[in-house]
């Protein structure tokens, strides 16, 4: 089922991005543009994300960096560039 008609994003895609670490509608938007045009899908995206566990949120609550680049080893960053 489509969640975002503007960009053809499905519920399955939103769930895949959430499984990959997206915890907010803004992070979903960064991953696939859903919610960035008319905005009518943002509440549906919020409902899909729910109040479930969010690894990034848990890291932030512990005072740790939440982005992969922030806790990657320096050698890993130079190899990725």
Per-residue pLDDT of the chain (81 residues; tens, 9 = 90+): 999 999 999 999 999 998 888 888 999 999 999 999 999 999 999 999 986 666 666 666 677 665 554 444 444 444 444
The dihedral formed by the CA atoms of 36, 39, 43 and 46, expressed in degrees to the nearest 10: 0
CB-based contact 24:50 (threshold 8 Å): no
Model-level pTM greater than 0.75?
A: no
């Amino acid at each position: 089922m489509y969640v975002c008609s503007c960009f053809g994003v499905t519920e399955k895609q939103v769930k895949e991005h959430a499984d990959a670490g997206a915890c907010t509608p803004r992070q979903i938007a960064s991953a696939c543009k859903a919610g960035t045009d008319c905005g009518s899908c943002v509440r549906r995206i919020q409902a899909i994300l729910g109040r479930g566990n969010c690894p990034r949120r848990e890291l932030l609550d512990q005072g740790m960096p939440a982005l992969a680049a922030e806790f990657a080893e320096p050698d890993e960053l130079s190899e990725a560039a």
